[in-house]
Structure formats: C-alpha cells, structure tokens
Chains A and B, each alone.
Chain A
Amino acid sequence: DSGVTQTPKHLITATGQRVTLRCSPRSGDLSVYWYQQSLDQGLQFLIQYYNGEERAKGNILERFSAQQFPDLHSELNLSSLELGDSALYFCASSVTSLRGETQYFGPGTRLLVL
C-alpha cells in the first residue's frame, strides 16, 4: 500500500458525461500528479500540483481540469467524455529525499466510457 488513495476504483459512464476523480496524497506529500494510462498510448503525464498551485502541465486535454485543495487532496474533472477517454487514471504523490523526488502511485481509477 503506497499510502495514496483514489476513488472511485471503477467508473462506467456514457459519452458526453462529466466525472470527477478524487485523490488523497500520502501524509506530508505536497505534490500530486495525474496520469492517464490507455492501452494504445502507455502512461501519459497530465498535470502536477504542488501545495495547491499548478506546477506543470503535460498532455492534458482542454476538456479535463484539475485542482488541489487546501487539505492537499486533488480532483481531476473529465467532461464531454468520449470513448477514447476510457483508461486507467492514476494519481501519484511525491516526496523529496536524498534520492530525489520519488512518486508513489495510488491504485488508479478505471474509467470506461460507453
């Protein structure tokens, strides 16, 4: 158990809908990352937040948005869903130590868009 929690574990929805994925980082971790893992594209970095502020943006679509709240939990909002958005969405949190910044991943949310 990495200490990162994600809810829900599974989500089935229809095209055009909007969903919210939730992530709670490990205690003490200030950074939260979101990733999308689909069968044909591997692991894609979406966005990073650090202590409530957006720090880095990856291949995140305009239909997707995220935020990190004062208690450091984060939400990823996916709207106008398309079939191609079906994927495993990971949240990770990180701690900086002598070995640099290591990301620890949550169990993921498996999204199926029908």
Chain B
Amino acid sequence: AQKITQTQPGMFVQEKEAVTLDCTYDTSDPSYGLFWYKQPSSGEMIFLIYQGSYDQQNATEGRYSLNFQKARKSANLVISASQLGDSAMYFCAMRDVDSNYQLIWGAGTKLIIKP
C-alpha cells in the first residue's frame, strides 16, 4: 500500500489565489513526522514545512501552512497568495518507525501559477 499519496499530478492556479496541495499518508506508528519540499525547475529540493504527529497546532511558515487532519491522515499544504515563483514540483514526505525513520516520498504535484 502507498504510504504517501499525492492525488494531484498537476495543478494550474491563478496568481494571488490560495492553493491547497493534497497529501494523505498511512502509518500505524503514533509518532511520525510529515514534511513538504519544493523542487523548482532548477532542480534543488527546498524544505518548506514540518508537522509532527504530536504537534497540537498546525504548522505555519510564512505563506505556507499545513492543514493537518490526523483522523483523516491528511497533511495538505496551503500556500496563501500564490506567486509566480511558487511554480514548482511539491513533494510530501513522511518519516515513521516502519520506514526506519527514513523519509518516504510521495510522487509529487506539479504546480503552475498563471499570471
């Protein structure tokens, strides 16, 4: 079974609109971590945001926030006020005991921001 599922292969969004990128995960470990990374066309992998399974509040980092719904096992990334520079691949990843605490990656979502 897929441990990390990103159901949106690609998305087009108008500049300045908010964007939600979906990520669902599967684990039986009560202690896990969820990560989002951005990969622009230049290729580098940029860490965006982290959510721990025991964190009481949803993580936020500037324009990025994580809509963490533990019971539904979803960790959607929300980008507010999108910018042209947000166009990139976005990857969701999880670390848990089953993965020996290594990151398990989703397939990614390609986000294109339209001017």
Contacts and interface: CB of A to CB of B under 8 A. Distances in A.
A100 B59 CA distance: 13
Interface in B78-115: 91, 95, 100-103, 105, 107-108
Contacts of A48: 102
B43 A100 contact: no
Contacts of B50: 99-100, 102
A74 B59 CA distance: 32
B47 A102 contact: yes
Interface string A65-80: 0000000000000000
A107 B44 contact: yes
B35 A102 contact: yes
B-side binding surface: helix, strand, loop or mixed? Answer: strand
A99 B52 contact: yes
Given A42-B108, A45-B102, A56-B100, A100 B45 contact: no
Residue with the highest number of chain B CB atoms closer than 10 Å, among A2, A42, A103, A104: A103
The 7 closest A-B pairs by CB, nearest first: A105-B45, A43-B105, A100-B33, A107-B44, A99-B50, A45-B102, A108-B43
30 contacts: A2-B44, A2-B46, A33-B102, A42-B107, A42-B108, A45-B102, A45-B103, A48-B102, A56-B100, A56-B101, A56-B102, A99-B33, A99-B50, A99-B52, A100-B50, A100-B95, A101-B95, A101-B101, A102-B35, A102-B47, A102-B50, A103-B35, A103-B47, A104-B47, A105-B46, A105-B47, A107-B43, A108-B43, A108-B44, A110-B43
Interface of A: 2, 33, 42-43, 45, 48, 56, 58, 88, 90, 92, 99-108, 110
